[in-house]
A and B are shown apart, each in its own frame.
Chain A
């Protein structure tokens, strides 16, 4: 089994994100990490490989700093990594990102591509399906459970009133929620071994994509602050806070 896990390097969720003069998020030189959402997909991929044999390769497009995300994935147990870094990809929209990822994946045979449902910084949630269409494979999305057996992938997909079970032959792409598997912590041994694992570095020109295909079609023309909300009351837990909440509920005529 060849499993590809798509990984994104995101600014540290605890930090304060900044926009540069070009209206793009300042990504380089900013402390960041492997998107926490991607750890669940990686864990699901690792479990499949541990049961059936094969390799997990983690693929990421991002600035030089995104190597930290790949190193984290390798420390968790991924067998190899591919990082696509190129100045022309700065500010890439979802379609360009998907083209780059699909072109990277297509270079080798694969059985399963796993991605998280959406990134925790952008929430676009469409890149994996675009990648699947470009690769010409089925996409089973929003999986809370993922099994692979006898050339079939089987998922449980959350729905409005419950869940559906979906099946697809391999190769396929799956997007997973955080219910799919609890990610492991990298061990000290894993962190040491990560340094020896193969990481391939690519630029856009290695992928045979034309300038047109790499040109982002979205440009931010204006950014302004959202109108600030009046500061609410901040209270410490205690009888006074409880009374204030009850007053507000009474004021709203709901009790």
Chain B
């Protein structure tokens, strides 16, 4: 997105693997990558990275800083605006100029163009897949980042890490994505979606933030603003209302099917086929019908 505005782009990569990421960043247009592989960025999320970036901004004085919308980026961007005293626009769908960005509000029904005033650098976090990442060729110079931060920025620390692996095809690559929401009523009912996914074949199961927040499925299932963005051939939303949080992660699917008992659910505004009714009746019948058509 930055490349549409200027060719004077520098990137910042902090934490283990940062230096390794430099060639990819260069290949996408960054001239310089300010990198540090220091573990403290991983062990102490938020404050150390924000302070290092603030110092880089002081030294290099850019007009605009772009962030992804990941959890880690939000921690850094949130702290950074306090340090720079410059304005932060979150979840932009397009950056139109160094102080001009576009976003969506009110469930994606309105498009707003926002002027960013006040001191530089303007801070903008960009929605995942708001624009296709295309390589431009090029190589970046790696500029090692000096890290000498006071201990008080490391008060928060990661003490344990746990993996909860999800089985089946990956959400991002699957041709069909079946997403479940609070309408499923019970975590055990995700098994019904797994069954449908198996009948289809190349299908992965995801979830709304509400279902993830309720602890029904791991975060790796989450589709939406704070989760994954998917663009499958077919998306099937089951018991999902389609709040903006979720909609931004799925509305670019080629075909959208929604099953919900509430006829006023916003997801019906996005759907090519909207079925109003009992998902506990529709989903097993659909699984059955697909198996019948496949002759198995």
Contact = CB atoms under 8 A, between A and B. Distances in A.
Given A133-B83, A223-B112, A225-B111, A249 B274 contact: no
Contacts of A221: 100, 113-115
Interface in B63-112: 71, 74-75, 77-83, 85-91, 100, 104, 106, 108-112
B286 to A, nearest CB: 5
B50 A235 contact: no
Given A129-B75, A237-B275, A220 B112 contact: yes
A166 interface: yes
A253 B104 CA distance: 32
Given A138-B156, A254-B176, A254-B200, A162 B81 contact: no
A134 B88 CA distance: 15
Interface residues of B, number: 96
B210 interface: yes
B270 interface: yes
Interface in A91-137: 93-95, 98, 117-118, 120, 123-130, 132-134, 136
A127 B75 CA distance: 10
Interface string A15-49: 00101000100000000000000000000000000
Given A125-B90, A220-B112, A246 B155 contact: no
A93 B165 CA distance: 39
Q: Which of B100, B157, B268, B278 has the most CB of A within 10 A?
A: B157
16 contacts: A133-B78, A133-B82, A138-B46, A138-B47, A144-B213, A159-B219, A162-B161, A162-B218, A167-B157, A172-B155, A221-B113, A232-B256, A249-B176, A254-B202, A255-B200, A255-B201
A123 B90 contact: yes
Interface of A: 17, 19, 23, 93-95, 98, 117-118, 120, 123-130, 132-134, 136, 138-142, 144, 154, 157-169, 172, 177-179, 215-226, 229, 232-239, 241-246, 248-250, 252-255
Interface in B32-50: 45-47, 50
Interface of B: 45-47, 50, 71, 74-75, 77-83, 85-91, 100, 104, 106, 108-118, 125, 152, 155-165, 175-176, 199-203, 210, 212-215, 218-220, 225-226, 233-234, 236, 243-245, 254-257, 259, 263, 268-278, 281-282, 285-286, 289-290, 293-294
Q: Which of A218, A237, A243, A249 has the most CB of B within 10 A?
A: A249
Contact of B79 (A129, A159, A236): A129
Interface centre among B125, B259, B272 (most CB of A within 10 A): B272
